């Protein structure tokens, strides 16, 4: 037995793909190498295909799983069997894989033909008709379950259009209500109506995209104008600031400077004091007393400033002096000055 396989991805749900594939009698309407598929009953069918030469057999259905698999085996004619598996790949994509095994005709000569290239040719034939099936499904209306609704039927490469179908297939089509002249004319009108609706929808989509593009272009131009206006105002402000003299800006003597005093200002008369605040607020206190937390002052206790005795630490730094400025008036003067 020689085995061949082919696969294709169809852009349709698995339920729709399965239903459309099981219409075997419609294969000659869109496949190239299938010349006849007619039914004996619901389980048995007759097939005629053209691969190098004409091959014919009767087949019986087996191993069918709804929406998953169909299978067959021949009962007369060319010995073959196979399966077609359907695997969903999302909500709107289905993989269709075909596996065929058959006994080459004429014994050793058939095997020699396989070795000389019939093998690869058969797989190309299988892939071609499987691609025709995928296109037939994709050109059918969404949700359609009858191949007759597809726009791809009777295309110029199909067996029907090339006039190679068998006499038995023609007789079966003649008894098909969907193949009467009136039904075919109605089908053509329906296809033309759907084509016009599809063109109108495409034109509306293009018009919508064009308007959307124009709106984006206008918004971009407005944004560019706003940016240009902002740059122009910024340039005006920069030019105005550059034209004003530096003297027109008067800094605050304390809060606009580093360290409480501008480095460009002369030292003030207070010396170690910067502008409004003393640099060392506790410089005149005893260092040990300055570290202690402040206590509430006892009104009966005189303050340090009221005492006439100077701090020993301060005297060690400044040196002896006849006058002490810690107090005020006569109480702040030393005994020698009195």
Q: Is residue 76 part of a domain?
A: yes
Q: pLDDT tens digits for 242-261? A: 887 666 556 666 556 555 55
Show the CA angle centred on residue 32, arms to residues 27 and 35, nearest 5°: 60
pLDDT at 309: 62
Low-confidence ranges of the chain (pLDDT < 70): 105-118, 245-297, 302-311, 314, 318-338
In a domain, 100, yes or no: yes
Tell me the residue length of the chain.
338
Identify the domain containing residue 16 by its residue range.
2-179
Place of tokens 């040196």: 319
- Residue 306's pLDDT is 64
Cα dihedral: 145, 151, 154, 157 (round 10): -110
- Report pLDDT for 220: 96
How confident is the model at residue 210, as a pLDDT?
Answer: 95
- Looking at the domain assignment, is residue 260 inside a domain? no
Q: Is residue 60 part of a domain?
A: yes
- Domain count of the fold of the chain: 1
Residue 16 lies in a domain: yes
What predicted TM-score, i.e. pTM, was given to this entire model?
A: 0.60
CATH of the domain at 161: 3.30.530.20
For the chain, how far is it from start to end, CA to CA, in angstroms? 139
pLDDT given for residue 120 in this prediction: 79
Q: Is residue 119 part of a domain?
A: yes
| pLDDT given for residue 104 in this prediction | 80
Q: Is residue 26 part of a domain?
A: yes
What pLDDT sits at residue 303?
66
d(CA 42, CA 24) in angstroms, rounded, equals: 11
- Predicted pLDDT at 313: 72
Q: Model confidence over 203-220: pLDDT tens digits?
A: 999 999 999 999 999 999
Q: Exposed e or buried b for every residue in 209-240, given b needs 16+ CB within 10 A? A: eeeeeeeeeeeeeeeeeeeeeeeeeeeeeeee
User: Is 158 part of any domain?
Assistant: yes
Of 67, 94, 72, 96, the C-alpha closest to 83 is 72
pLDDT at 81: 95
């Amino acid at each position: 037995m020689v085995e061949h396989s082919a696969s294709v991805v169809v852009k349709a749900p698995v339920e729709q793909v399965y239903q459309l594939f099981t219409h075997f009698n419609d294969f000659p309407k869109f496949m190239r190498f299938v010349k006849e598929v007619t039914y004996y009953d619901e389980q048995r069918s007759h097939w005629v295909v053209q691969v190098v030469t004409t091959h014919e057999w009767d087949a019986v259905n087996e191993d069918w799983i709804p929406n998953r698999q169909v299978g067959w085996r021949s009962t007369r004619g060319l010995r073959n069997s196979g399966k077609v598996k359907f695997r969903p790949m999302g909500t709107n994509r289905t993989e269709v894989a075909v596996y065929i095994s058959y006994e080459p005709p004429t014994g050793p000569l058939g095997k020699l033909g396989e070795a000389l290239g019939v093998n690869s040719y058969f797989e190309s034939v299988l892939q071609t008709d499987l691609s025709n099936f995928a296109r037939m499904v994709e050109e059918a209306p969404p949700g359609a379950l009858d191949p007759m609704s597809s726009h791809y039927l009777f295309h110029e490469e199909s067996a029907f259009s090339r006039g190679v179908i068998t006499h038995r297939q023609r007789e079966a089509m003649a008894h098909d209500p969907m193949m009467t002249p009136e039904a075919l004319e109605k089908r053509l009108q329906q296809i033309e109506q759907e084509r016009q609706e599809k063109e109108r929808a495409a034109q509306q989509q293009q018009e919508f995209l064009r308007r959307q593009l124009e709106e984006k272009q206008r918004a971009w131009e407005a944004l560019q104008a706003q940016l240009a206006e902002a740059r122009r105002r910024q340039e005006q402000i920069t030019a105005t600031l550059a034209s004003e003299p530096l003297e027109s800006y008067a800094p605050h003597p304390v809060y606009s400077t580093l360290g409480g005093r501008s480095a460009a200002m002369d030292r003030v008369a207070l010396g170690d004091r910067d502008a409004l605040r003393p640099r060392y607020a506790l410089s005149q206190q005893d260092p040990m007393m300055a570290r202690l937390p402040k206590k509430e002052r006892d009104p009966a206790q005189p303050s340090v400033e009221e005492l006439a005795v100077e701090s020993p630490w301060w005297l060690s730094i400044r040196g002896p002096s006849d006058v002490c400025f810690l107090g005020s008036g006569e109480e702040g003067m030393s005994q020698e000055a009195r």
